[in-house]
């Protein structure tokens, strides 16, 4: 499983085996992917949107800036139980996501992970041009924004001028752990990612020093225990303190200054610095697409959950309407009605009827299941 803050841009790294994979098209080098629907956001609501669209035979591509599906459920509380999902008395954030992935399997959505949607523009033919940070382009008949609280971004180390070393010596994501073989690496942070990567580097890097502001971690206890054992065996070091400065020679980052709780500031030489300070959501480019906003949420009607731009729908935490509650079950309801709202753009000449998954042979075909016999 690829973790969300080990993002590897591109589609290949983070997909479940079932998901169809497309390589990102680079702007100007290949033609846009034509599709019925683009779903922006692979949180619980974006995933369930795939299902509701699928029942109406509307195929979707799903894009998320994270490397993993599941939105807040996986990024913020994968192991915590949720108690208010109908018919699931208790399910973890990861468990809910796994169930949703299983449920949408029949519709084979294509996932484009580790890419932020940056542009959504209406074309003369009524379709929408969608472009991601990886250069993947789409022409979609409908767009579903299931962007939650916004696209999650890595929290950066804030020291004036240090950003010039980003992607050369400072990394917020690891693409290839072997890139640090034989290097002196400092890993900053106290969560699962910081510890997992620190452990992964032991035996490969020349030295590994973990820096965290306190002697307590948000990571899995077993990982913390392993880290402590490695420190005792002098395989790595742990330093309590905060990175407050750095030393550089022209274009080379030489060391970071770590202010310890003992009042001493230490100079820690390094070749590379990996920073895992967690994720923060940013509404980001969604605010620039000409959609009506109400306190940074997208205004929608409550019949179809359509925005002020016909053909663009907003579901889940990202939308706003009288009485809105940011609950997963509310998002699921919104996804169902939005799918019906979108059908007229995808199938302008088709009359859409409500059918039950229990009894409709048509829906059984669509779902790829046997039709049961009723007495
Ligand atoms: C600690 C905690 C506990 C919770 N417990 C419950 C509970 O018990 N019951 C309940 O109903 N709800 C609970 N919630 C709320 C619930 O998690 C949210 O309502 C739900 O996740 C909303 O789903 P969503 O799909 O709308 O958005 P999200 O889960 O936020 O997913 C949105 C996705 O869109 C992506 N995205 C945004 N913008 C872009 C862009 N431009 N390009 C690409 N990707 C983009 C983001 O990266 C993200 O992955 C809890 C929330 C928290 C934080």
pLDDT digits 0-9 by tens, 191-250: 988 999 999 999 999 999 999 999 999 888 999 999 999 999 999 999 999 999 999 998
The tens digit of pLDDT for each residue in 94-115 reads: 999 999 999 999 999 999 999 9
The tens digit of pLDDT for each residue in 124-158 reads: 999 999 999 999 999 999 999 999 988 777 899 99
Nearest-angstrom CA–CA distance, 171 and 305: 39
Backbone angles phi, psi at 335, to 5 degrees: -65, -40
Nearest-angstrom CA–CA distance, 235 and 181: 14
- Does the structure show a pLDDT above 60 at 347? yes
The angle that helices 328-346 and 44-55 make with each other, rounded to 10 degrees, is 40
* pTM for the full predicted model: 0.76
Of all residues in the chain, the percent with pLDDT exceeding 90 is 78
Q: What is the pLDDT of residue 76?
A: 84
- Does the structure show a pLDDT above 80 at 162? yes
Instruction: Tally the C-alpha atoms within 13 A of residue 41's C-alpha that lie toward its C-beta.
Output: 33
- Does the structure show a pLDDT above 80 at 10? no
Spatial contact of 209 and 185, defined as CB atoms under 8 Å apart: yes
Q: How far is the CA of 46 from the centre of ligand 1 (A)?
A: 9
The residue nearest atom 2 of ligand 1, judged by CA position, is 77
Q: Would you tell me how many other CB atoms lie within 10 Å of the CB of residue 7?
A: 24
Q: How far is the CA of 306 from the centre of ligand 1 (A)?
A: 19
Q: How far is the CA of 327 from the centre of ligand 1 (A)?
A: 9
- Does the structure show a pLDDT above 80 at 17? no
Taking alpha carbons only, the member of 246, 257, 285 closest to residue 166 is 246
* Cα four-point dihedral sign 186, 191, 197, 200: positive
Using a 6 Å CB cutoff, which residues line ligand 1? Answer: 40-46, 63-66, 71-73, 76-77, 82, 84, 116-117, 146-152, 284-286, 316-317, 326-329, 331
Q: Summarize the confidence of residues 256-267 as an average pLDDT.
A: 95
Q: What is the pLDDT of residue 29?
A: 52
Residue 375's pLDDT band (cuts 50, 70, 90): low
- Does the structure show a pLDDT above 70 at 5? no
Strands 265-269 and 272-275: unpaired
Q: How far is the CA of 18 from the centre of ligand 1 (A)?
A: 23
- Does the structure show a pLDDT above 60 at 4? no
Strands 137-145 and 312-314: parallel
- Does the structure show a pLDDT above 60 at 30? yes
The angle that helices 192-201 and 221-232 make with each other, rounded to 10 degrees, is 40
Q: Would you tell me how many other CB atoms lie within 10 Å of the CB of residue 294?
A: 12
The tens digit of pLDDT for each residue in 51-71 reads: 999 999 999 999 999 889 999
């Amino acid at each position: 499983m690829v973790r969300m803050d080990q993002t590897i841009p591109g589609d290949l790294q983070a997909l479940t085996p079932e998901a169809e994979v497309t390589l990102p098209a680079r702007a100007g080098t290949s033609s846009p992917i034509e599709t019925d629907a683009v779903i922006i956001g692979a949180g619980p609501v974006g995933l369930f949107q795939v299902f509701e669209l699928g029942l109406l035979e509307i195929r979707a591509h799903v894009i998320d800036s994270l490397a993993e599906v599941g939105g807040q459920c996986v990024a913020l509380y994968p192991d915590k139980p949720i108690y208010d999902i109908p018919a699931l008395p208790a399910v973890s954030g990861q468990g809910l996501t796994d169930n949703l992935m299983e449920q949408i399997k029949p519709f084979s959505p294509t996932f484009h992970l580790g890419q932020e949607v940056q542009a959504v523009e209406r074309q003369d033919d009524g379709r929408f041009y969608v472009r991601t940070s990886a250069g993947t382009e789409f022409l979609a008949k409908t767009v579903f924004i299931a962007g939650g609280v916004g696209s999650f971004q890595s929290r950066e180390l804030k020291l004036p001028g240090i950003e010039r070393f980003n992607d050369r010596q400072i990394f917020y994501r690891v693409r290839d752990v072997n890139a640090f073989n034989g290097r002196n690496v400092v890993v900053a942070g106290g969560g699962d990612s910081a510890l997992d990567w620190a452990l992964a580097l032991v035996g490969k890097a020349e030295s590994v020093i973990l820096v965290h502001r306190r002697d307590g971690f948000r990571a899995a206890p077993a990982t913390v225990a392993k880290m402590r054992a490695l420190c005792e065996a002098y395989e790595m070091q742990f330093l309590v303190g905060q990175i407050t400065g750095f030393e550089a020679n022209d274009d080379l980052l030489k060391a970071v200054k770590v202010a310890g709780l003992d009042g001493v500031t230490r100079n820690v030489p390094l070749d590379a610095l990996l920073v895992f300070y967690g994720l923060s959501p940013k509404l980001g480019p969604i605010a620039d697409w000409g959609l009506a906003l109400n306190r940074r949420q997208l205004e929608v009607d409550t019949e179809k959950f359509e925005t002020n731009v016909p053909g663009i729908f907003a579901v889940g935490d990202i939308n706003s309407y009288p009485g809105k509650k940011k609950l997963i079950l509310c998002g699921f309801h919104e996804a169902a009605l939005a799918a019906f709202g979108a059908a007229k753009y995808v199938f302008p000449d088709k009359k859409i009827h409500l059918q039950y998954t229990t009894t409709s042979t048509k829906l059984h075909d669509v779902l790829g299941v046997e039709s049961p016999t009723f007495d």
